[in-house]
Each structure stands twice: as structure tokens, then as C-alpha cells.
Structure 1
Amino acid sequence: MTPDSPRTLAKRQQILRAARTLFLQHGYARTSTDAITEAAGISKQTLYAYYRSKPELLAATITHELGQLALDAQPPAPATLQDLRAQLLALATRVTAHLLQADAIALLRLLIGEAVHLPELRATLRQALPARLIDLTERYLVDAHERGLIHAPDAHLSARLLVGPLMSYVALDGLFGDAPPTPPSPATLAALIDLYLRSVALPGAPP
């Protein structure tokens, strides 16, 4: 696939910024494509040249939002348990700090609500966040397992054991919370990572 030109990327950003603002202000159902084109300063023909439908535009908006988490990065292989701890703690901090913001929670709620009626959005949400987060965590754990730091023969299952508690903060304190979303404290995340590592660390592994 040919990469988008700078002009195309700029136009996509222009459309996504306008759509994001309107979706957050008015919700998905009450945001028309006419309003999006007006806010973006483009024609409807231009909008449909980039996004074929409003559901596709919503999916692109949430994919772009979650893309800022850089979950596709290739992590360096940890040499010690402390390296692995630092990697997992940095990931946990980045994910919770970004997702437990008011706008991010509002977008996730909006997408989840619309996914009931638009099945293709469920796949978008799953791939944009939990699947990629599990995949990145799995890559950390595979490297650590191969280096004899941890015992994680089923890296996918081990990744789920960490991602599940992490995402519980997003769900319980964000999506289903009444108060403004607040990320867990650094001490809480450190305790979570340490508890997880105690369950998988191999005796005698480099600390």
C-alpha cells in the first residue's frame, strides 16, 4: 500500500479533528455529514473521497485517538527483570493516562453505544485497543520468557492476565464511573506490575 502524501495526511487530520469535536459536542446520531464538512471547510465530495460513510469516519476517529498510544512499537528485549518491570510500568502508565481522560472516555462510550447497532465498529474497537495492547504486552513477555527471566509458556494468556486488571481501571473508573476519570496513581500501577511479576518471575533470574 502506497503511503499517504503529506497533503492527504493533512486533509485526513483536518477531517478527523472536525469530526472528533462534533461527535464529542453533539453525539454520533446528532452529528450530520453536512456539519462535519462545514466544520472541516471541505465539500461533501471531498469527505466521501476520504471516508465512505459516517460509521467509517467514527471508526477512523477512534483509531486515530488510540493510535497515539503507539501500541505498534517494537519493544527492546529486556535484559533483566528490572528492565521488564520498567517496560510494563511505562506501558501501564501511558495507557491509563491517555484513556482516563474525559474526551477519551467520552469517545469510547460513544463508540460502544453505536457498536450495538453497527457491528463493524465492534471489530474496530477491539482491534484498536485490547487486541493491540495484548499483542504488545505479549511481545514483551515472549522476549522475557526466551531470556529466562519469567515463566510464560503461553504468552497470550499471560498478557491477558496483565491487561485485564489494567483495563479494569478504564472500565470501572472511566466508562462506568460517575466522577471525572482519574488515572491510578504511580504507586498503584507499580504495585500492580510488581504483583504480576511475582507470579511469573523465575527464581535466579537477573534482577
Structure 2
Amino acid sequence: MNKSVILESPRATAKRQQIMAAARQLFLSQGYGRTSTESIRQVAGVSKQTLYVYFPAKVELLSAVVMAELWAFDAPQAPAAPVSLSELRARLLGLTHTFTAQVMQPDALALLRLLIGEAVHLPELRGTLRRAFPARLLAGVEALLSAAHQARLIDAPNLNLSARMLIGPVISFVALDGLLSDQPISQGPPTPPSRETLAELVDLFLLTVKK
């Protein structure tokens, strides 16, 4: 049987999840550099051969773990066009709120910091960082703005630039209040921006594409 078919079976999916869960646990508890493939194999309870069938390199495991953590956020790439400005506002607010709430979870921030640190030395991780962190949200917002522009609800001739005008401030919350937060652990995890704050941000953004 073709190897790709085998790796897509329900049993293979469960095995991948088993290995990724072990890697996630170890990456979060002791970092990437101090986590060996042997320790991952032992915690996952699989053979060395099985581990390498699914993940030939440790760097591939880190990529898979981070993508699984952050891609729980869903930004449809071909959304239906909103029928009104109020619907567009609600959907932009939903995207930004879901994104910040997901990415600013303690484990997600820890994995992002880990990925950023390793991407400095491992160029193959930079694409993973871009896809996992800003690119998915940017593409989702751009697709939604494109649908709204075609429906003549907004005037956004440069969709990518318009999307960046919204995503930049959203990412600043993640970067400044999450990744670079100096809040003592005793005060709890970083707090994502409130829905009210994001609503103000979306309203200010919509002024830039108003017809």
C-alpha cells in the first residue's frame, strides 16, 4: 500500500497525535534544545522506527506542534460576502477576537517564543512561524475585505495594505502584551484585549475603507 495512504488512515492520525502530544509536553517543560528525539519516543511510547516514519526530524515535530496549537483559529480563505457594513464589522470583530484569545493562551505564547528563538538558527522554521502567527489571519482578513469590496460595501483598492492596517494593531497586542509581557507570573497569564477594545479598533479601521 502507498505510504501516503497509510499515513492518512485513522490509526496513523491517532499515532501522529500521540507523538505530537509527547513532543508538546516536552517542548513546553524543557525547551526545544534539551528535548531529544529519544525522550519524545519514550514519552510517546513508540519505537524509533515509528517516530521517524511520521517525523523524520525533530524540527518537523516542532513545526507540527506549533501549527496544531495555533491553527485551531479558523480564518476562512473564501468567505461569503457580507450583506451589510454591520455584518462586516461583526465578522472582523469575530476574527480578531478569536485570534487574540487563541494566540494569547499561555501554552500558545510559550510555543511561539520557543519557535521564534529557534527560527533564528533554523531557517526552515521561519516559514512555519510566518504561517502559524500572522499569515493565516492576514489572509483571512484580506479575503473578507475582498468579498466586501466586490459587494461595494467598502472602498479597498489595495486589499493587502488594507488588511495589514487592521492586522498590525492586532498583532501589537499579541507582541507587546503577550510575547513581550513583563507581567509577574503571580499576576496570572497575559490578558487578551477585550471585545470592547477590539470593537473600537475595528471601527477605526472601517473609517479607512469607508465609501
Bucket of the pairwise TM-score, normalised by the shorter protein: over 0.9
1:30 matches 2:39: no
**Aligned in 2, Cα 1:9/1:73: closer, same or farther, shift over 3 Å?**
farther
Give ranges in structure 2 of 5+ residues lacking alignment: 184-188
1:12-53: CA deviations, max 9, x gaps?
Answer: 111111111110000001111111111111111111100110
What does residue 166 of structure 2 align with? 162
1:137-156: CA deviations, max 9, x gaps?
Answer: 11000011111111101111
Structure 1 counterpart of 2:57, from 53, 56, 67: 53
Give ranges in structure 1 of 5+ residues lacking alignment: 203-207
1:198 matches 2:202: no
1:20 matches 2:29: no
What does residue 129 of structure 1 align with? 133
Q: Work out whether residues 99 and 105 of structure 1, in 8 Å CA contact, stay in contact via their aligned partners in 2.
A: yes
Q: Work out whether residues 72 and 132 of structure 1, in 8 Å CA contact, stay in contact via their aligned partners in 2.
A: no
Provide the rounded CA distance (Å) in 2 between the counterparts of 1:72 and 1:119: 28
Amino acid at match of 1:95: F
**SS of equivalent to 1:31:** coil
Q: Work out whether residues 77 and 144 of structure 1, in 8 Å CA contact, stay in contact via their aligned partners in 2.
A: yes
Tell me the CA shift for residue 72 of structure 1.
4.3
Q: Normalised by the size of structure 1, how large is the TM-score?
A: 0.94
Structure 2 counterpart of 1:100, from 104, 120, 123: 104
**Larger displacement relative to structure 2 (38-47 or 123-132):** 123-132
Q: Work out whether residues 55 and 121 of structure 1, in 8 Å CA contact, stay in contact via their aligned partners in 2.
A: yes
Provide the rounded CA distance (Å) in 2 between the counterparts of 1:74 and 1:6: 28
Q: Normalised by the size of structure 2, how large is the TM-score?
A: 0.92
**SS of equivalent to 1:200:** coil
Q: How many residue pairs get matched?
A: 202
Amino acid at match of 1:150: I
Runs of 4+ aligned residues of structure 1 deviating over 3 Å after TM superposition are: none
Provide the rounded CA distance (Å) in 2 between the counterparts of 1:15 and 1:178: 33
Identity %: 57
**SS of equivalent to 1:16:** helix
What does residue 181 of structure 1 align with? 190
1:100-136: CA deviations, max 9, x gaps?
Answer: 1111100000000000110010111112231221111
Q: Work out whether residues 77 and 139 of structure 2, in 8 Å CA contact, stay in contact via their aligned partners in 1.
A: no
